[in-house]
Amino acid sequence: MSKQPDMQTETEDEGDVSPEEYVALSDFTGAGSDQLTFSCGDRLLVHAKPSSEWWWAEVREVIGYAPASYLRERATDEEEEGEDDACPDDPWQDEEYFGSYGTLRLHLEMLSDKSRTEAYRQVILSNSASLRNKVVMDLGCGTGIISLFCAQLAEPSLVYAVEASSMADYTRQLVKQNGCEEVVTVLQARAEEVELPEQVDVLVSEWMGNCLLFEFMVESVLQARDCWLREGGVMWPSSAALTLVPCQAHSYYEEKMAFWERPYGLDFTPLQPLAQQEFFTKPKFSHLIEPADCLATPSDVILLDMYTLQVKDLEEIKGQFHFCVDKPGSFHGFTAWFTVHFDSLETGGATVELNTGPHAEPTHWKQTLFMLDKPVSVCVGDSISGTIALHRNPIWRRHMTVSLDWNIHSSTEATENCKIGTKSFPMWR
Ligand SMILES: C[S@@+](CC[C@H](N)C(=O)[O-])C[C@H]1O[C@@H](n2cnc3c(N)ncnc32)[C@H](O)[C@@H]1O
């Protein structure tokens, strides 16, 4: 399976535009013969934009596909003179990111997610005695819910509630409204830039994104840990796991792909390559997998220790899987979700878990589905092994690409039969 499905079937005239000049934002090494290799600063001529992710381009008289997110439109000569590098102005897209957290929509979604919010409440409640007189930092406090739980359910000496978005103004009001202003200090700042008068005993944050890492808020948490957590202090969450399972996704496949087989008695199959490009090249967020659609026992493929994880580790995180199929069916893809654990402040105390998988109460993250280009029939006893890699985008720091490589060994066919596949899914770029 190619990394960019069906690229081979695309021609130069699909999505034609008159050639435009672009500049490479970063080095890129093509993975196959149809992909270009170029260096940061190279000028590329883009001939066609057949998809939003991959463009048909030319560099040094070589033609091939280039990832759109590595390119930026070339400025005029005058504009270019004033530029000292090719990097975008805001690789973290902070304006857009913190802008969205300055409105209520996301906070309503998060606070309405009872499993998520109650898990944090439970962490505070079950550690209330040990939190007495402790100093807490709530990184990315949003409306201040976790800080308010701390102030109401325990007796910390101080909670620094750090929030970069304009929501912080309202958070201050909420803290006052609930009589917690003696304990909770709201600081409107990016956590990376905040100055605290002291180190903290506990660093709590709700930083998890789709597929655990998307948005990479975790980097801010790791930087704050290194700056502000006292030696021996506690991280909440303390660890995180990404879980994967091979699965069926009949209704999604029917809805997006099989639909084109015979709508109204007509053969629309020439649209299937387009359907694959449009619906299956990116993961499906907000997927709710039925436990019955799991073809094997789910397995943790990536484990993160929040005490030892380093910012540089985030560039590429790899895991392996080996599934034994325990249900016959159509292997349509992989579904991923995450679980985080909160260690107790007391030695031997109970750990609290927030599990976003199909066997737990649904959360607003739901699960993430990665569709194969074509389903593969599998039988009980077959094995599906391979690797997963989360590659952080070198330019757009909140984005990543999830690459999956797998091989399927059949247990039933007399001759050794192994089907292999590989596919990369940009989230978002
Ligand atoms: C996922 S929300 C969680 C909000 C709140 N803690 C809750 O549980 O409802 C993450 C929040 O962190 C803020 N945030 C993200 N990165 C930050 C940073 N580096 N510094 C300060 N705030 C940040 C966002 O603006 C957003 O309000």
Instruction: Please give the distance, rounded to the nearest whole angstrom, from the Cα atom of residue 348 to the centre of ligand 1.
Output: 30
- Residues 320-341 as b/e (b if ≥16 CB within 10 A, e otherwise) read ebebebeeebbbbbbbbbbbbb
- To test the pocket of ligand 1, the residue of 149, 169, 206, 363 to mutate (highest count of ligand atoms within 8 Å of its CB) is 206
CA 110 from chain center: how many Å? 17
Q: Domain range for residue 147? A: 94-206
Closest CA to 120 of 53, 56, 34, 207: 207
| Protein residue with least CA distance to atom 8, ligand 1 | 206
Q: CA triplet 114, 117, 123: central angle to 5 degrees?
A: 125
| Residue showing tokens 């973290």 | 92
The pair of structure tokens assigned to 160 is 């620094």
Are 174 and 112 members of one domain? yes
Nearest atom of ligand 1 to the alpha carbon of 192: 19
Are 347 and 406 members of one domain? yes
Structural domains of the chain, count:
3
Instruction: Please give the distance, rounded to the nearest whole angstrom, from the Cα atom of residue 377 to the centre of ligand 1.
Output: 43
CA distance 115 to 364: 9
Nearest atom of ligand 1 to the alpha carbon of 162: 21
Nearest atom of ligand 1 to the alpha carbon of 140: 12
In a domain, 25, yes or no: yes
In a domain, 71, yes or no: yes
Are 173 and 197 members of one domain? yes
In a domain, 161, yes or no: yes
In a domain, 169, yes or no: yes
- To test the pocket of ligand 1, the residue of 109, 139, 175, 365 to mutate (highest count of ligand atoms within 8 Å of its CB) is 139
In a domain, 412, yes or no: yes
Are 41 and 117 members of one domain? no
- To test the pocket of ligand 1, the residue of 97, 100, 141 to mutate (highest count of ligand atoms within 8 Å of its CB) is 141
Whichever domain contains 304, its CATH number is: 2.70.160.11
Instruction: Per residue of the chain (429 residues), give pLDDT as tens.
Output: 222 322 222 333 444 458 899 998 887 888 777 889 888 888 999 999 888 788 999 998 889 889 888 888 887 665 555 554 556 788 999 999 999 999 999 999 999 999 999 999 999 999 999 999 999 999 999 999 999 999 999 999 999 999 999 999 999 999 999 999 999 999 999 999 999 999 999 999 999 999 999 999 999 999 999 999 999 999 999 999 999 999 999 999 999 999 999 999 999 999 999 999 999 999 999 999 999 999 999 999 999 999 999 999 999 999 999 999 999 999 999 999 999 999 999 999 999 999 999 999 999 999 999 999 999 999 999 999 999 999 999 999 999 999 999 999 998 865 557 899 999 999 986
Q: Which of 215, 219, 254, 315 is catalytic?
A: 215
Which domain-ending residue is among 159, 188, 206?
A: 206
pTM: 0.85
Q: Is 14 a catalytic residue?
A: no
Q: Is 255 a catalytic residue?
A: no
Are 26 and 162 members of one domain? no
| Residue showing tokens 């737990």 | 360
CA distance 271 to 268: 6
Q: Which of 96, 206, 346, 413 is catalytic?
A: 206
Instruction: Please give the distance, rounded to the nearest whole angstrom, from the Cα atom of residue 14 to the centre of ligand 1.
Output: 41
Which domain-ending residue is among 60, 81, 102?
A: 81
In a domain, 215, yes or no: no
Q: How high is the ipTM of this complex?
A: 1.00
| Residue showing tokens 């490479």 | 24
3-state secondary structure of 252: helix
CA distance 370 to 401: 12
Are 411 and 358 members of one domain? yes
The pair of structure tokens assigned to 359 is 């066997």
Are 68 and 193 members of one domain? no
In a domain, 2, yes or no: no
Tell me the Cα Rg of the chain. Answer: 24
Are 363 and 396 members of one domain? yes
Q: What is the DSSP string of 338-358?
A: EEEEE--SSTTPPPEEEE-ST
Which domain-ending residue is among 145, 180, 206?
A: 206
In a domain, 20, yes or no: yes
Closest CA to 137 of 85, 78, 197, 67: 197
Query: Phi/psi zone of residue 382: left (φ > 0), alpha (ψ -120 to 50 degrees), beta?
Result: beta
Instruction: Please give the distance, rounded to the nearest whole angstrom, from the Cα atom of residue 90 to the centre of ligand 1.
Output: 18
Are 313 and 401 members of one domain? yes
Are 13 and 73 members of one domain? yes
Are 263 and 409 members of one domain? yes
Contacts of 107 (CB under 8 A, 6+ apart): 101, 142, 143, 167
Contact, 47 vs 31, CB < 8 A? Answer: no
Whichever domain contains 35, its CATH number is: 2.30.30.40
Are 130 and 274 members of one domain? no
Whichever domain contains 123, its CATH number is: 3.40.50.150
Enumerate residues lining ligand 1, CB below 6 A: 98, 101, 110-111, 140-143, 145-146, 162-165, 167, 190-192, 206, 217, 220
